Structure 1
């Protein structure tokens, strides 16, 4: 199923969620560009800079990447190599696609566990037990007092000091805030891969990747040229 067809069949709620995700991704990219531009102007025009600018841009980039990955699975826009798929019979192709989808689900689940286990101590939560898959929770050292290097603490987030830092004030933004993208983004990736796998099983989608993108781009360019 093509990307256009898949998108057009979404419910109003699905399209609304798409708009939220697209707006968030665009906002992150816009803030990255704006902060970088301001830093360049300050550095070369006034010999100054936003000392926290680089760190914040790196944080926003991490959010952008992880949210973009889940969005790519949702709309089947990830690139992939399908040379082997194209030379096997349709039945073999479907089996290989299903196997790859299951492998992606397993990988996404492992990624989700690892992301939670890394982030949880920074928020004062317990990490999961078990080497590969969670078997419960185990005590982990509370690291909620860890702060970012330069990003200032926002006044409207001061309530977190009582919740996560035993009432102690944060000089800089605590790390669990930017690091939250790890479990959040991983959970979205797992959700989108599971949804895509269900669509493959039910025949609504051919694979997890976009196929023949180059050929489609050439055809679109040719069609535009003919219209002009």
Structure 2
């Protein structure tokens, strides 16, 4: 049975990528905690606050969720209902697992188009044509590269973006293209992980796209450890 507690990266590259992903998730969560803690201390001890603190935490939380979705597909940690499927024999169960995996791939393709079309105007790029699937590059997409966040200050070392996408006009606040960039990146990574998971389902290296009875297994493992202690 596949489950996140049993996930083992293969090879040095796989272990490096796995460690990198876990580090990114940990850093995002840690930064959220630090910014929130500092803001609380400033507010209740010194009577001031980081005016941009809440917005930064919201951005980091969105990044954590989006990046975590892709990571969840890799380690098979997404929940699902499999009570009826588990009543079936192995062959129809695998057929349904493959069908559900292919549906996930299709859905991720839809998300990828939507993510790009949402982010592209903020980067001064063109959206795609087509209602469901990208059929080409649209012309005349409204440029929204001048849109900025509400309170997050713009670091000086990122002002080069003004020359790239904002016709040389400097930013006084962080442009939205930066926090929104996680959307197409995370969805692309999600699509990659779903395709990889689908291949594993087809080849028999994974039972399904969802975690199966992982909670019960975790409880049993914890109980066994307590018994041995």
TM-score interval w.r.t. the shorter chain? over 0.9
The 5 Å alignment of 1:173-192 reads 173-192=174-193
Residue 208 of structure 2 is aligned to residue 207 of structure 1: yes
Alignment-derived partner of residue 157 in structure 2: 156
Does structure 1 conserve the Cα–Cα contact (< 8 Å) formed by 2:3 and 2:214?
no
Gaps of 5+ in 1: none
How big is the shift at 1:7? 3.5
- RMSD over equivalenced CA pairs, Å: 1.3
Q: How far apart, CA to CA, are the structure 2 residues paired with 1:176 and 1:43? A: 30
How many residues are paired up? 228
Does structure 1 conserve the Cα–Cα contact (< 8 Å) formed by 2:28 and 2:64?
yes
After superposition, what is the alpha-carbon deviation per residue over 1:20-68, rounded to whole angstroms, capped at 9, x for unaligned? 1111110000000000011111111111110000001000011100110
The 5 Å alignment of 1:1-228 reads 1-3=1-3, 7-8=7-8, 10-139=10-139, 140-228=141-229
Secondary structure of the structure 1 residue equivalent to 2:7: helix
Gaps of 5+ in 2: none
How big is the shift at 1:5? 9.0
How big is the shift at 1:195? 0.3
How big is the shift at 1:9? 5.5
TM norm structure 1: 0.97
